[in-house]
Structure 1
Amino acid sequence: MFRRTFWFTAGAAAGVWATTKVNRKLKQLTPESLAAQAANKAIEAGHRLKDFALDVRDGMAEREAELDEALGLDRHPELPAPRRIAAIENSPKHSKNPTYVERSTYSYNRNEDH
């Protein structure tokens, strides 16, 4: 009698366990769950890629500093004065020449030349 009760209970427990496992797997295979898993994997991959890019950037900066030190290069050379302001001040538009007309007033049609 105890044998039958034991095996009946063991079978019922195995059935409940198997049913629970199957239901969990089926829930994991629903479209919503698959989409959520894919999104999580993409976010995780993005974080890993970002970490890799930061490591590469740090390594590049470190190696560049080593090369600069080995070659005796100055990291912050003196930059020349900005030339753009002088070029704008000397342009025909800013001069007192009244014959200057901006280019944007001319319409150019390449078909008019023929």
Structure 2
Amino acid sequence: MRRLFWLAMGITIGALIVRKISRAAEKLTPSGMAAGIGQGLSDLAESIGDFAADVRTAMSERETQLRESTGLDGSAGGVQRQSPPQQ
């Protein structure tokens, strides 16, 4: 019974090792490397797009803050347009 257990254990471990080695060898083939590089570039492009969206959002918020603080948004009471006097 023990021999059968250890035989099954050895076969299972051997199969797992062969599968892992096969996956690693597939990654080292030209097509595997191209797929890895393609996925990496796709992830990079997505990250750059997210960063650009964050920058645009922050820029818009900051512009709004600056317009409010300088009165360029029309809400400041200091400068008001008056119509010319009628004669």
Sort the TM-score into its range (normalised by shorter chain).
0.7 to 0.9
1:38 and 2:26 correspond: no
Match of 1:8 in 2: 7
- Stretches of structure 1 lacking an aligned partner (at least 5 in a row): 76-114
Query: Does 20-29 or 66-75 show the bigger shift?
Result: 66-75
Deviation, structure 1 residue 17: 1.4
Output one character per residue of 1:7-60: Cα deviation in whole Å (capped at 9) or x when no partner: 122112211111111111111221111111111111111111111111111111
> Pairwise mapping of residues 50-69 of structure 1 onto structure 2 (< 5 A)?
50-69=49-68
Give the residue type in structure 2 aligned to 1:41: G
The count of corresponding residues between Structure 1 and Structure 2 is 74
CA RMSD of aligned residues (A): 1.5
Q: Percent identity?
A: 38
The 3-state SS of whatever aligns with 1:24 is helix
Give runs of ≥4 in structure 1 deviating > 3 Å: none
Cα offset for 1:74? Answer: 4.1
Relative to total residues, which structure has the larger helix share, 1 or 2?
A: 2
Extract unaligned runs of 5+ from structure 2. 75-87
Question: Larger relative contact order (C-alpha < 8 A, sep ≥ 6)?
Answer: 2
Q: Distance in 1 between matches of 2:56 and 2:8?
A: 62
Amino acid in structure 1 at the alignment position of 2:57: D
Larger radius of gyration: 1
Aligned partner of 1:71: which letter?
A: T
